[in-house]
């Protein structure tokens, strides 16, 4: 289940070039750079006719997937979102961010070593962004940490970062008509690094343009996840 407390984003780094949010919004004539607070802001607090929460205990809420939870334009709303997350301690909140360098200053006062029900995943689409973001990520007080290499734009060496409580690495290619090409060798190399470090690895999707054994495959969106699973290289 998804919870998008706000919508819209500003492109931030190389991985944002063909952002799926921009792509989907364009189909509906929307401006993705316009940041708005959504009507579903209080979704985790809503109750059904029987008085129970519409989002049941134990549910995982994929949070802010049409924006970035640590987007600067969302600063006025984030404190209230943190209060909702704290109140619903029986729900798991999964957050992915490219703006990990902003996180330390934006954590709630009672965060401590992290809320147990919150995963903050950090993206690293290439070596430059891995080296820029991951040292800070490893040093942050977060209970549940996952590195997201999606869209993977080139080979990445994560060996120096597969410690500090990293519970998994998820990698995938880029989707969409303008997608940049990914290479199966990059995913195999990441997998090998994860195996050596004892960190679970997930090959999430091939992307639209995928090179394997020197051959380029153009893979329809509906098959990108299936083809990745078919490769059988997940270790999680």
Query: In whole numbers, what is the pLDDT of the chain averaged over residues?
Result: 97
Domain ranges of the chain: 2-231
Contacting residues for 159 by C-beta, under 8 A, at least 6 apart:
193, 196, 197
For the question of whether the overall pTM of this predicted structure is more than 0.85, the answer is: yes
Amino acid 202: pLDDT? 98
Contact 149, 127 (CB under 8 A): no
How far is CA 236 from its chain centroid? 17
Going across the sheet that includes 209-212, the strands are: 182-183, 209-212, 215-218
Residue 63: pLDDT band (50, 70, 90) is: very high
User: What average pLDDT does this structure show over 101-106?
Assistant: 98
When pLDDT is cut at 50, 70 and 90, the band that residue 177 belongs to is: confident
Q: What is the pLDDT, as a whole number, of residue 163? A: 86
pLDDT, tens digit (0-9, with 9 covering 90-100), for 66-94: 999 999 999 999 999 999 999 999 999 99
Please give the structure tokens belonging to residue 223.
Answer: 């098959």
For residues 98-107, average pLDDT:
98
Residues 6+ apart with CB under 8 A from 152: 125, 126, 171, 172, 173, 174, 182, 186, 187, 190, 207
Q: What is the mean pLDDT of residues 19-38?
A: 93
pLDDT in tens, 201-222: 999 999 999 999 999 999 999 9
* pLDDT (0 to 100) of residue 164: 73
At 73 the pLDDT is 97
E strand intervals along 89-194: 92-97, 118-123, 144-149, 166-172, 182-183
User: At 187, is the secondary structure helix, strand, or coil?
Assistant: helix
């Amino acid at each position: 289940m998804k919870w998008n407390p706000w919508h819209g984003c500003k492109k931030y780094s190389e991985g944002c070039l063909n952002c799926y949010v921009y792509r989907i919004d364009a189909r509906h004539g929307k401006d993705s750079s316009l940041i708005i607070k959504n009507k579903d802001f209080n979704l985790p607090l809503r109750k059904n006719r029987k008085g129970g929460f519409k989002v049941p205990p134990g549910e995982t809420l994929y949070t802010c997937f049409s924006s970035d939870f640590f987007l600067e334009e969302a600063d006025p709303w984030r404190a209230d979102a943190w209060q909702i997350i704290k109140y619903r301690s029986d729900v798991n909140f999964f957050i992915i961010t490219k703006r990990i360098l902003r996180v330390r200053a934006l954590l709630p006062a009672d965060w401590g070593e992290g809320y147990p029900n919150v995963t903050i995943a950090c993206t690293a689409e290439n070596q430059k962004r891995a080296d820029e973001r991951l040292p800070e990520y490893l040093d942050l007080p977060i209970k549940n940490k996952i590195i997201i290499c999606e869209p993977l734009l080139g080979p990445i060496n994560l060996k120096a970062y597969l410690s500090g409580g990293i519970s998994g690495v998820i990698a995938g290619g880029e989707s969409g008509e303008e997608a940049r090409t990914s290479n199966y060798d990059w995913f195999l190399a990441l997998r090998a690094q994860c195996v050596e470090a004892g960190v679970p690895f997930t090959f999430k999707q091939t992307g639209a343009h995928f090179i394997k054994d020197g051959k380029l495959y153009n893979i329809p969106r509906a098959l990108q996840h299936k083809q990745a699973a078919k490769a059988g290289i997940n270790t999680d």
